[in-house]
Amino acid sequence: MSHVSRVPPQAPGVPGAAGAPGVPGTPGKADTRALAAVMHTAFFLLLGASVARFLLRHPGSPSTPWILALSITLALLYVLGPALGAAPTVRRLLWLGLVVAVWVVLVVLAPSFAWCAVPLFFTALRTLPPRAAIVLVALLTVFVVAAQLQLSREFDPNLLLAPPAIAALATAVFVHMERQAESQRALIDDLIRTRRELAATERREGTLAERQRLSMEIHDTLAQHLSSQQMLLQAADRTWDSEPATARAHVRTATGIAARGLAEARRLVHDLAPPELEGGGGLADALRALDAGPDIEVRFHLEGTPAPLPDRVQSALLRIAQGALANVREHAHARTAALTLSFLGDQVVLDVADDGAGFTEPRGAGATGDRGHGLPAMRARVRQLGGTLTLESTPGEGTVLSAAIPLEPPA
């Protein structure tokens, strides 16, 4: 019982704090007020009963004015207690000392006031540190025992043993309640801290996911457009004097790519759908309009019965096709590339094949064949939609990239 610690009350309005609405099983302010009301009522009932007993048993006693004056003083002091709060401040300690001192004088003058000590037990336990509170309860119990023995005409063992038993029981109950309340407060604090950590983790994951999405968007759109413009302008520079018509064609193509890049930049700012999908023609028309540069022929094939696709799926497949064609242009040295969009009932599949140089896929643990940022971005897009991305390539025989996305959300 000597190790009960006191936890300062939490600030009002903190979610999950002791007594907060919606947190079942926590000691709230209503419970505290109810217990305090019971203690105050019991004190005044015992004080009134003691005054009545004294007046009935000792009518006309010379000490009656003193008893009445001290009783009124004790009642007034006790009324001031709630205004001082429950924290062990200096004013609270001085108040408790005055209450105990007045009660002791009353008990010395009239032993029948001894049972007013029971509410004072709880007041001491709520105000003082545990060790000091237990010492004060023991002293009050000694006065109660002495008063009861003084009132008794003959020795009664119950008068010697009952008050300590009652004091011990009251102290044990209070200490147990305080420990339970402290455990609940600690549990609530842990829950609040865990909830805040989870919220912070979710915010970080959301931020990282958004950064990854933006990086993939920039790589698949702006970066690819700028790379195409650079290649076209370099080609125009090389043929400017010898083949001016070809050079101007390269410049016009670069201008068109720059216009699409500007539209992509505006879309990124407003987070809209890809501009290729805004015309209402759907994914097939957007794929049919793609190109991989002036030296690569791009063919498009549509297989199966087209079905409406979610905007996220259309955007992801379009970006994958753009990224794949960018890889064909920059790495494959191919003459032709084929885009095939297949509707297979429960999934949609996009195949991008080229007749370029191909490459040897890495073998062994952890080998993915991903080179640069493009393929990881494609895999991330497909993974977010519950699909799969496969890559097959053989040196000298070209490369086939296949993205399969289920039309129904994965279970």
Contact present, 323 and 362 (Cβ < 8 Å):
no
Write down the pLDDT at residue 268. 67
For residue 14, pLDDT over 70 is answered with no
Could you report how far apart the first and last alpha carbons of the chain are, in Å?
Answer: 55
Poorest-pLDDT segment among 45-54, 207-216, 286-295, 332-341: 207-216
Return the closest-CA partner of residue 278 out of 320, 316, 311: 311
Is 126 strand, coil or helix?
helix
Write down the pLDDT at residue 387. 92
pLDDT, tens digit, for every residue of 226-236? Answer: 788 788 888 88
Q: For residue 307, how far is the Cα from the chain centroid?
A: 40
Return the H-helix or E-strand segment holding 33. helix 29-57
Contact present, 105 and 70 (Cβ < 8 Å):
yes
pLDDT, tens digit, for every residue of 18-27? Answer: 344 334 444 4
Contact present, 302 and 284 (Cβ < 8 Å):
yes
Q: How is residue 104 written in tokens?
A: 């002791």
Band of pLDDT at residue 42, cut at 50, 70 and 90: confident
Q: What is the mean pLDDT of the chain?
A: 77
Return the closest-CA partner of residue 14 out of 25, 2, 29: 29
